[in-house]
Structure 1
Amino acid sequence: MHLRFRSLESRIVTLFLVLIVAVQVVGLLVIQRGIDNNARLAISSELVNGAKVFHRLLEQNAQNLRFGARLLARDTAFVAAIGNNDESDRATIESALVNSGRRIKASLTMLIGEDRKISVSTNPPQAAGLQKIALSMLDAAEAGDGAIGIAIVDHRPFQIVAMPVKAPITIGWIVMTFPIDRQLANDMREVSSLHTTVLTRDTQGKWLSAGSTFVGPSAQEVVDQLQALGGKPPAGPFDITVETSQYSARLLSIGEDSGQTASVLLARSIDEATAEYRRLERWLIGLTLGGIFASALAIVFTAKRIAQPISELVTTAKRLEGGDYKVSIDSTREDEIGQLAHAFDSMREGIAKREQEIRRLAYWDPLTNLPNRAQFVVQLNDALQDARRREEALFVLMMDLDRFKHVNDVMGHSFGDALLQQVAGRLQLLLANRRQLSAQVARLGGDEFAVLLPAANIDAALLMAAEILQALETPLSLEDQMVDIGAGLGIAAYPEHADDGETLLSMAEVAMYAAKQRNDGAVVYDAAMDKSSAKSLSLLTELRNAAERNEFRLHVQPKISLQTGKVVGMEALVRWVHPERGNVFPDEFIPFAEQTGFIRVLTRWVMERSAELCRELALKGHPLKVSVNLSTRDLLDQDLPAKFADLLARHKLTPGSFCLEITESAIMDDPVRAQQTLERLSAMGLDLSIDDFGTGYSSLAYLKRLPVNELKIDKSFVLNMENDEGDTKIVRSTIDLGHNMGLRVVAEGIESEAVWRLLAELGCDQGQGYFMSRPIPGDQMIPWLEKWQAPIAIAQTDDSAVAADS
């Protein structure tokens, strides 16, 4: 009950603190809003009063002008001089006008005669600009004992007064002007503390300054902001910004002349007007924050005293969250807090056991008890930090076991697991014997292992790689079975290749796959490997659409009887005409199509086009056997025989129309399944051929069990056999081997008549090569057949043989 009371008290204290903060903040916002409103009202009132003051100044100036003009108009000597209308009195008139204007600080004083033309002026250029408005005021001046108006000359506003000169009838008019300029603005500033700007606006709506209490760029900034307001400025107060200072302004119209208007802009600094208010506001904010801070301290202190036992448990829970499971928890109390502490202690022990197990599963491989990929990356990053600090090199060796999938498929997964355990043991033993204490070995997944080799050089890394490969090449004994297993191994180095763990691991993997493809032990990473992979990957992403877009083309290369010179068959080849890259050679996409499985789609396409061409040739009297290449993935497809049966039926072809070519390496990847597929194809009546014979690693004992009909000698032995006695011996032996096994022998790469004749002498049955024909598009095969002629010597030999037989 005591704990619940304290918990409730804590909530009440928290609630009061929230209420205090809320009330203080709301009150502060209300006061701040009131300050802003009061400041705005005060500024607006100042602007209204300022407008009245400015009008009063204008009126005062007008009265001064009127008074001065009236004095001059009633001066007896001046009136007499005008009345005489004598040229000799002109100097007297001019002097009187100048003196009178100087006394009242008029910018212009002039006399308009009774003919309503300017007769005398103290400022002729200005008088010309004011003539029109002055003449328009004469009647009003005569009727009302003077008239006052606003005139604009050269975008500058003037107060103008016209006063009749009577003797006793009107004999002329005196006109005086007073500029409304910066001087008047300064007077207004001194009287009202308002910034004042005198403005004119021309008929195009452009504002111009005629004088301002703002100086320099500030005066122009006022005009620019007024111009930005558009056609009609606000009637009431509006805000403007001058040199980062905010002003509230009011625009007063003071007159118009010929479409131009004269106005005055009164501006009051908001910052100056609210300075006292802001000072008060800062005091209020300070008091508010001080009150909140003091209240917070008191409430926090009280809450800690109330909930001290719970706070200790919270601290313990945070340490548990951070992974510290050795922290002690006091559970000796007999109340509810003690029970809670006891539950915490039990939870701590349970979490510690579970996390230990989770960590082991997350970072260690349960099969080999080696670090897994995640743990290896952690170890690698730690080693990279040490290598950077010590300025040392670091190497990553990644390996992938050869034929492990075959072991799994044939012997079962339990056998494969035991094999992986033995491989892990060998790697650990190797590192222990070499006393590589800082080296780390890990299983990254599947049949991939990695070794971290810090503080080493490239020679040490290559030596380690060689020892690893040697250790793995030693046959393994499992369940009375001897298993030969090797590996492809890639090497990547810091700082030469990369400076972060994931990239280094990725580069080692690239080198590893290069090693498996080359089949030559360990390979050190080279940037060219990645570029090649990226290019190939870019091509492969487009392969799946190439067939639908009809980008593939069927080419064929004729196969000729070397004894008779007759065309007996053709090999089907695929070409890719890319819309952007042009012709893409098979070497660039066939290997990767095999890796991704797309090769099956490609094989089906070649089979369909080959069957169509074979049928077309047969109908036109050229029955030829077409040879089609099969990949490893094709041989592992158990539905391949059924697909061929369907193909033959649809195109009405006999099985003898096809010869299927298989490489030695394709057979050896999975000999059992490959032999099953080949036996079913052979039983259907299809001819089978071993392609590129002599370049693989199959044994003759296994080869003799394959149901094949043909052996193709790789062109690498044929190209130079005319000049290389070693190649000639290999070709002779291969021909004899094929014939002894009852097989037809075909030679690739015939590029001269001499090679043709040499092969014929050795007993080779058929051949193909550039000497007879390069690969040609399938639709050009019939025209080629019609033009084909065997070399003369071969043709004559053939004819002689026929004659002898007869």
Structure 2
Amino acid sequence: MTSLRSQLVLAFSGLLVAALVSITWVVINTTRAAADNFAERELAIAEKVFIEQLLNNQRQLTGRARLLAEDFGFRKAIATGEQETLISVLANHGDRVGATLVMLAEPDGKIVLASHNLDASDRRLRDVMASGSNATSQILVAEGNAFQLALVPVMAPNLIAWVGLGFAIDQAALDALKAITKAEVALEIGGRLSLSTTAQIHRKTSIAELQASADWLVRQVKLDTSDPADLNAYLLASPAELSAPFAQLQQQMQLIAVFALVITIAAAVMLAKSIAQPIGFLVSAADRIASGDYDKPVEQFRSEELGRLAKALNALQSAVKHREAHILHQATHDEESGLLNSYGLREALAELFKDDKVFSFSLVSLENYSRISDLYGYSFVRKHLPVLAEQLVQRLDADSLVARVARDQLAVVAKQPIESLNSALADAMAAPWPAGQVQIQWDIKQGLMACPEAAADSEQLLRRANVALKQARLRNIPAFTYQSGLDEQYLRKLNITQRLQRVTETGGLELHYQPQSCLSTRKIVGVEALLRWNDPELGPVFPDEFIPLAEETGTISSLTQWVLNQALNDIKALALDYRLAMVSINLSANDLLDATMIQKLLAAQLSIAGSATQLEFEITETALVQDADTAVHHLHQMESAGIGLAMDDFGTGYSSLSQLKRLPVSKLKIDKSFVLSLVDDADDQSIVKATIAMAKALSLKVIAEGVENQVSAQLLQQWGCDVMQGYYLAKPMPLNRLIQWLKEYNESHFPQETVGN
């Protein structure tokens, strides 16, 4: 018979074995889960650093491209079309800043010069450049290689070109990204792996094979690329390498389990207490590490194996904590200066606003940053910028902080009063700064804010600080403190832009008409249709406000369509009471270059064929600057369909006789800026007389805008001007008032003639 003791030992041993096996299984699976979570978190952190590095490259590229775009000589070369000069300037600037790709494009995005073949991305680049006039960036494929490209508009003062600088995303770039992210990097071009930071990846032919393989964890990084189907970036990590510390932990756990099973027969109760309890602590520690809590150290045990296991967990916890802290620092600090970057600044400001702290803020612009960089070199400025930041911190209160938010901008947060902060920064920059063998005299301007009175959050603070900085520049003063209401203009533009999206649906648009009179006969020969907007929420919005915004946001076409439809309806109503020869409508540059809009204009002309009143469209020279060939082609289409054409605002834009003689226009409108002071300004008189003489030589009729008195009208008639328009004749008026005005005008000036059909 089996003794009771043996039975108890066997029974207790069986229970202990079952418990030990269960605990071991839990530890192994928990460790495996911790390893998987750790691997995913590492790749997520690596992705964040990867994107921040690309954004940092983008800021550098944009800053260097903007420097070139602001160069007077470069803009002059663009305006004059000096091909050799443009090539030389692009090449020299590209070499100086280390760019591997340089390009120049026309305002509509048509590429003029490029160091690489950009046919594969031409359409997307053209769309990007044609859609606005702000700096932008793209990641694209050229000649089988990937590039990070920054595009900056060249203004003089209007958009005359785009200049682009790019860095190659080559093997060296991938190796640098690997050094920062601590992850392998692979680049896929055209569906095949093109570059990678390890030869092991190149053994595979596609990302699909890598994803199917158990050797790699793969994470795609979303790129702002011109064609997502052609270029993709991936971060990869070896599960084996990431889980190595955990594998060691599992091996040690297995050894402990085997050892425990061997000695359980002799000392089940003792081992249950001495092994099961510590293992429970280790399981809790593994769970805690897997959840991201690295602060509490793992308890040490007397047992050698358990002690080694606890030490391994402590070492793993410390390594992961240090690594995550380093990556977090990279994500929140500027790489060049070591200061907080814009992301880190926003986090610091968020804490201050959350705690309702009182502080002063200064957005400091290093106005001569570009000049110093050009004079001493970019590497020189990069080397001494941290010294500047450190000395600034020493001049401020102990709790102050300095961040670098742009290439040439610093942000300073201090608890001292705003006047004290302004004085401290001004005094710090007043004397030359020693930088190696030279002395640098920094020229700064400040946008100052007193918080939290002037802003409720970090986004509002930075926006208003920029507004204050712009005021300092406009007023040419060292510093300007933000005042309530300064950003209302910005917010109003934003509101107008939003309301423009549905203005043709929400109502408030109305056409007013301003009569045009023949100077020799005094008969009314036509009217100009002028758009007016009285928004239900914004009230009256002037054309000078909403027309430029409509052109920028692409809503100008819907406005033109509304004006055209309304003018056609008004022509029919007008014909019932008065025979008017011409209704003139303004056509924007965007409309003139839009083939779809041209077809709509031709259809409108066809709909009124045979009517006594005909359409005329007024164009400006802007479209000719953007795309002269397309504009001329569309104008000839309109002229062939019987549509009258007039050149508006002549003399205020890029006036060119060579362009004018190409255009099928029959009239030329002298801008009102030359007519308003015609009586007293001898220069205006010379300009107007010369313009009239030139127009007559080209067989063009001349219309003078802005005629406000009889003397001006007499001078214009004396010099041979055909038609006048202005307040002297009549102000713009709605249709019902126009019909009444025409009746009264003709009864007064031509009583013997019958007005009407």
Shorter-chain TM-score: which interval? 0.3 to 0.5
Structure-1-length-normalised TM-score: 0.43
Structure-2-length-normalised TM-score: 0.46
